[in-house]
Chain A
């Protein structure tokens, strides 16, 4: 399944958004323009749909509706999310509007919820039952098994969306960051447990492929494998070749930041076939490796037909001539919220691409804040 279109209203930085999405999407914009918040829309749908999730939890985990609502929202305060999903010739659409209860607990309530399959309306709320019992509007049908049978495929798709922003320090020293952890483990704190839970054969084949790719970046590394220590705690181990004939065994706490990030990135690319959200995959990686990432992602996604949405600041990542303007979303902040446009929809970017510039050269300069020269005066 692939998300073909995203429509937002008053979501975080964005007052209105309506964009078409490709199989691979690169999100570029200045700092604090809302790249992560744009990715978070999909994680939000996942959090509603997943087991133990739901609308109330998804909203309260994000600090309540007042934090979700765009600061530029004025007369029309509802937060709205709509996605169009293509699945082997069928087009689904899911749309919700969320408002806040005006009194009492000030719960987030559904202004509406709609599911379409092709031209057929599968669900439209509020319905008569909702009118008879308004508290029903505090839950979506997406989160209810006995109400979503007709669009279960869509629910499954949302549930399996994954988000990755691996923080090497968390993976290396999980004991130093106690507490319940973040739902979905986006930062890789329990990455090793996830590897340990994977069936043996799958794990071995994945680690084998990852090792082959890792060796290009870190030529001295070999025999990447999964082990358990005396206390039963899972680890990743590899032989690091040096002048001694047998090299040295090293565990993940000795791996470099770049090695760990590349490892996590490759693992998540190989895992699952649903939408994958990647946050700045270029971090800690050598520019030469970063330039190879788009091609690598394409090859790995082609086998699984999965969609990947990537936020990035990296000119190296976007210098791949195989990236099209229709794959790049440019975010431009303004007083009325951040504006989102496909790079290919801007005539000057199209002309520059036609003139032989790479997407990095043609589009990234548009994401530099206009007052950046002021930094020269900063002492």
Chain B
């Protein structure tokens, strides 16, 4: 197979979608993203992962999810998949949340928020609730517009601010550097290595 590998993406939230999309775009001419399956939530992904596993025989699938409460990625994969994982299914798990991959590029993210880089922890993968950590950092931003976009208002029921996804998507598209971030996030580093090494097997001639 010559040329970029066509690949479908399935994710549980907009942030993971932005991250994976950026990753695929930074790898030189390796992948051609096709359809993005994102109907929101971990439950959606988990319910449909076996369908994606089946469809991967036609077009490779890259799935991005958060580790959350599982102790390690292999446990999650074992728990989710009923059938053996197809070679073309790339199930990548962010430890513990996709927000950790954002924080891992601490120089750029600190510059984006207007805070000191030293305020961001080094060991991003051991943060239990990376989303909360990210929001608390944003709350200390010197730029009011970022605080209002990313942080939920006091006494609100929502966990994130009204423009959380779009703000972070813009950061990821424009400033986030996966090569800097992989130094602090081993799960991201493994994902990049896997994407570089992956060659699909084609069951049907020409795929889809």
Interface residues of A (CB under 8 A from B): 315, 346-348, 351-357, 361-362, 365-366, 368, 370, 373, 375-377
List 16 interface pairs A-B (beta carbons < 8 Å), by A numbering: A347-B58, A348-B59, A352-B48, A352-B51, A352-B54, A353-B51, A354-B54, A355-B53, A355-B55, A356-B47, A356-B51, A357-B51, A373-B21, A375-B166, A376-B173, A377-B173
Chain A nearest CB: distance from B204 CB in Å?
7
Q: Which 3 A-B pairs have the closest CB atoms?
A: A355-B51, A351-B55, A376-B169
In the assembled complex, the Cα of A354 lies from the Cα of B47 at a distance in Å of: 13
- CB contact under 8 A between A348 and B208, given known A365-B35, A368-B36, A377-B173: yes
* CB <8 Å contact, A356 and B57: no
Interface centre among B21, B165, B166 (most CB of A within 10 A): B166
- CB contact under 8 A between A365 and B38, given known A355-B51, A356-B51, A373-B169: yes
In the assembled complex, the Cα of A366 lies from the Cα of B51 at a distance in Å of: 16
* CB <8 Å contact, A348 and B55: yes
Q: With an 8 A cutoff between CB atoms, is B50 at the interface?
A: yes
Q: With an 8 A cutoff between CB atoms, is B199 at the interface?
A: no
In the assembled complex, the Cα of A144 lies from the Cα of B20 at a distance in Å of: 61
Chain A residues within 8 Å of B21, by CB: 373
Chain B residues within 8 Å of A368, by CB: 35-36
Chain A nearest CB: distance from B146 CB in Å?
13
In the assembled complex, the Cα of A349 lies from the Cα of B170 at a distance in Å of: 31
* CB <8 Å contact, A346 and B37: no
Q: With an 8 A cutoff between CB atoms, is B39 at the interface?
A: yes
Chain B nearest CB: distance from A163 CB in Å?
31
In the assembled complex, the Cα of A210 lies from the Cα of B35 at a distance in Å of: 40
Q: With an 8 A cutoff between CB atoms, is B52 at the interface?
A: yes
- CB contact under 8 A between A351 and B58, given known A346-B208, A373-B21, A376-B169: yes
Chain B nearest CB: distance from A237 CB in Å?
41
* CB <8 Å contact, A348 and B50: no
Q: With an 8 A cutoff between CB atoms, is B18 at the interface?
A: yes
Chain A residues within 8 Å of B55, by CB: 348, 351-352, 355
- Which among B50, B58, B204 is the interface contact of A356 at CB below 8 angstroms? B50
- Which among A354, A370, A373 is the interface contact of B51 at CB below 8 angstroms? A354
* CB <8 Å contact, A357 and B48: yes
Chain A residues within 8 Å of B191, by CB: none
Interface residues of B (CB under 8 A from A): 8, 17-18, 21, 33, 35-39, 44, 47-48, 50-55, 57-59, 165-166, 169-170, 173-174, 204, 208
Chain A residues within 8 Å of B37, by CB: 361, 365
Chain A residues within 8 Å of B58, by CB: 347-348, 351
Chain A nearest CB: distance from B165 CB in Å?
7
- Which among B39, B52, B59, B165 is the interface contact of A376 at CB below 8 angstroms? B165
Chain B nearest CB: distance from A317 CB in Å?
14
Chain A residues within 8 Å of B208, by CB: 346-348
In the assembled complex, the Cα of A318 lies from the Cα of B36 at a distance in Å of: 18
Chain A nearest CB: distance from B5 CB in Å?
14
In the assembled complex, the Cα of A355 lies from the Cα of B53 at a distance in Å of: 8
* CB <8 Å contact, B52 and A352: yes
Interface centre among A355, A356, A362, A370 (most CB of B within 10 A): A355
Chain B nearest CB: distance from A16 CB in Å?
20
Q: Which residue of B lies closest to A375 (CB)?
A: B166
* CB <8 Å contact, B54 and A351: yes
* CB <8 Å contact, A376 and B170: yes
In the assembled complex, the Cα of A68 lies from the Cα of B36 at a distance in Å of: 33
- Which among A346, A356, A377 is the interface contact of B170 at CB below 8 angstroms? A377
In the assembled complex, the Cα of A216 lies from the Cα of B58 at a distance in Å of: 43
In the assembled complex, the Cα of A373 lies from the Cα of B16 at a distance in Å of: 12
Chain B residues within 8 Å of A375, by CB: 166
- CB contact under 8 A between A355 and B36, given known A346-B208, A347-B204, A376-B169: no
Chain B residues within 8 Å of A355, by CB: 48, 50-55
Beyond the given pairs A315-B39, A357-B51, 5 more chain A to chain B contacts, judged by CB atoms under 8 angstroms and listed by A's residue number, are A355-B48, A356-B48, A357-B48, A373-B173, A376-B165
Chain B nearest CB: distance from A49 CB in Å?
40
Q: Which residue of B lies closest to A366 (CB)?
A: B35
Chain B residues within 8 Å of A373, by CB: 17-18, 21, 169, 173
Chain A nearest CB: distance from B29 CB in Å?
17
In the assembled complex, the Cα of A355 lies from the Cα of B208 at a distance in Å of: 17
